[in-house]
Structure 1
Amino acid sequence: MNEIEVRELVPSEYREWDLLVEEVQPGTPFHTSDWVEIYRDVLSRDLRIYGCFRDEELVGGCPLFVKNLKGVLKVASSISNMTDYCGPLLKESSGSKASKRVQETHEIFNALREFLCRQGFDSIHLKFSPGIEDIRPFTWNGWDSKVHYTHHLDLNEEVENNVSRTIRKDLKSASEAGLRTRVWNDLETYYGLLSKVYERQHLKPPLPRKFFEKVFNLIREKNIGYMLVSETPEGEAVAAHLTLYGKKGTIAWSSARDPAFSLRGSNALLYYKEFLDLKARNFEYMNVMAGNVPRFADYILGFSPKLVPYYSVTLENKKYSALKALHKIAT
């Protein structure tokens, strides 16, 4: 089998990258050039999409954000604010034998790993999307690994049979209060609710308003998702979910609830209505990204989700490790 060549893609090749993201199952909206270019443009990030080629065919790769820390450290990461995974992808083997699939996975990931190690980064952090399970080409070569979790709600099941007593009470409260839901792709409503959440904690939103403007433009122009809001009988939006489309499922990317509105049922109502809507549209699951924060994980358990692991790997050189240790001591 021919060797894998790895190189940085030029912008004219981004369409080829997007076709790969669309083809492979672990590919997500976070991997697309449209998504990572928003970070590049709004946050002035140094974006690099590395491609893995076999016989000039793109068979894998990884987007990376690169930054220099005070001119001393050069660090690379496949994720950024509010993008929990955007790591390496590879084209699945067409062969049926497990040994063949493992061989091709290792060839592509080993080539990518070796290439990244030659780029002079002091730290490299890659977080894989759910569905990529074999990270041994990295861990066998000295990279540290960590397991993370998300939840999948199976849309082939009946939601009424799986919700907890607490969720049923929340839904009843929402109904008695006259709350209703509707799709409303309105930036002002979303950003207003998100700002209230962070103002309550005396914090700024994790990304500037301009970022969300571009996301809502993508939603309108390329139909990558939608926003569902829960509102009072008077038409006041009190909670919102921003959902992105995947291949077989959807990704619950971001949610916000007015902290001044005390009725918990507004959030339960959104999940319940989304479940019914997506089920009717033949999606197989909802990826509810709430598995790594205890209070969110506890809440979503009320919908009887499946726990799904995903992984990250990190490589740090001695200089980075030493400076990180000094920083911890100083703080």
Structure 2
Amino acid sequence: ATVQLIFSLAQVQYSRGFSGSRSTSLTVCHFSAVHRLTCPRRNSPYSSVDSERYSSLVKSVMSSTVSSQTPETLQAEDGHVYGPVVKARTPPRTEPRLPKTLHPFVNPERTLETEEPEAGPPARILLNRGKSRPFIPSVTRILQQTLSPEQIFYLERWKRRMIAELGEEGFKEYTQNVFKQGKLFHSALEDILTSADTWRNKNLSETPQCPPEAQGYIQSISHVLEDVSAVRAIESSVQHGPLNYLGIVDCVARYRGVLCVIDWKTSEKPKPFLSNTYDNPVQVAAYAGALNNDGNYKYQVENGLIVVAYKDGSPGHAHQINSELMSEYWKTWLLRLEDYREHR
């Protein structure tokens, strides 16, 4: 269309420029690519036009489709109309927070075991809170009182949703049942792991010591128990003297040949990843650090294992925590311990 317009204007100017002479009529035809390729080449009727004379006309027509504004002038005009551009400041990078005092995770006075220990019954040191003993906070208490605002938000939202569905009394009964089932599950595990008979290659959910409420959980982790051996402690208390806290470990045993602090968990929802277990890895690291500094234990543990069991019997998940990860979770535990003391 632009080419046709230029040719039409050139035709008018050409006719006016040669007034007095024989009138020349120029007809603008439609162009066709096919026609141009198939027909013999003919001389254009515009070949005799003085291109230099009409160059200013062509430039003016062609320049009308292009903005005369440059990016700089457009930006200046935009700033005049809408104001200057306010750019968000990049937040400064903050270094990761470190504990004020980095207490060692392992006890340098002890050596790590590399071989299977001698056979013997697993230790079970009861927690004794006598009146004469000063108050020592537990790992569970410290973690509960140092939850992040985000954790508190989601916990409260879950609680409100459950109360809306079950009511106040229904929610209270629900929490009691969860606690009861967890206690029965741990009790059944204790009976199985301390039994003189081997538990491998057996249907553990049908053993006499397994109550009906725990059968699904036991069946869920039966494949994990096949890799557990050399049980050293079950439901045994541990205490860290220098850091002044205590806890009760579920189990200390070898899992696939590696000595671990094992934490048994129940869940209604699948937890296929370690990140789904929230603060449980920090809890395991706190237990291991206390055991390594407790005089009742003559060995050390650098690894952890979190086993999640499901009530419907579906295969549970076993999350291993190697020594490097345990060291990182130990630092997180030291930070939570500092927060607890500052709040108190």
What TM bracket, shorter-length normalisation? Answer: under 0.3
Instruction: Tell me: higher relative CO, structure 1 or 2? Use CA pairs within 8 A at least 6 residues apart.
Output: 1
TM-score (norm 2): 0.21
Normalization by structure 1: what TM-score? 0.22
